[in-house]
Structure 1
Amino acid sequence: MPKAVRLTEELLTHHQFSIREFALVPATGGVFELTLNGEVIFSKKELGRFPEDGEVLELLKSRLS
């Protein structure tokens, strides 16, 4: 959970005026998915790893521009 909280802080810092709704849903089993408008843009289950520093920001940057 600490990694997810750190990522939440990073996203809200860089996109505070772009994000209208944000949900952090605690779960078990190491599930971590990031969706934007219903599209999964990162899945720990699919990739077998947590996102690297800055990776999610880059994924969002390409979709928000």
Structure 2
Amino acid sequence: MNVSKPTILIEYCPKCNWMLRAAYMAQEILSTFSEDVHGVLLIPSVTSGKYTISVNELIVFDRKEMGRFPEIKELKQLLRDQINPTKELGHSDKKEV
């Protein structure tokens, strides 16, 4: 077990029925970053309406702050920038204009 790799935390509101969304995002994260992360932890929140995604203790996306949920492509880019900035994301990578 390599605990030096970061753990992704997805804290979601179970009252809002966001568990499936959190599980889907966890699946996408693990598919992309399986060698780069220790794991993904789903945490049912006691705070209504909460949906945050963090790397260890650093929040990379907060639904209330952004006023929306992250797109998977956007989420992968945010996580990549924290976990492994040199990782190529293929079609999910940013397109420079």
Shared topology, TM-score over 0.5?
Answer: yes
Runs of 4+ in 1 over 3 A off after TM superposition: none
Shift of 1:23: 1.1
Matches within 5 A, 1:1-65: 1-27=19-45, 29-63=48-82, 64-65=84-85
Q: Which moved more, 1:2-11 or 1:23-32?
A: 23-32
Q: Which has the higher contact order (CA 8 A, sep 6+)?
A: 2
Letter in 2 for 1:15: F
Instruction: State how far apart, in whole Å, the 2-side matches of 1:9 and 1:21 are.
Output: 11
Shift of 1:18: 1.1
Residues 28 and 72 in structure 2, CA contact (< 8 A), matched pair in contact too: no
Please tell me the root mean square deviation across aligned C-alpha atoms, in Å.
1.4
Shift of 1:37: 2.8
Shift of 1:60: 1.1
Equivalent pairs: percent with the same residue? 31
- List gaps (5 residues or longer) in structure 1: none
Q: How many residues align?
A: 65
**2:65 match: secondary structure:** helix
Instruction: State how far apart, in whole Å, the 2-side matches of 1:56 and 1:47 are.
Output: 13
Q: Which has the higher strand share?
A: 2
Q: Which has the higher helix share?
A: 1
Instruction: State how far apart, in whole Å, the 1-side matches of 2:55 and 2:72 are.
Output: 19
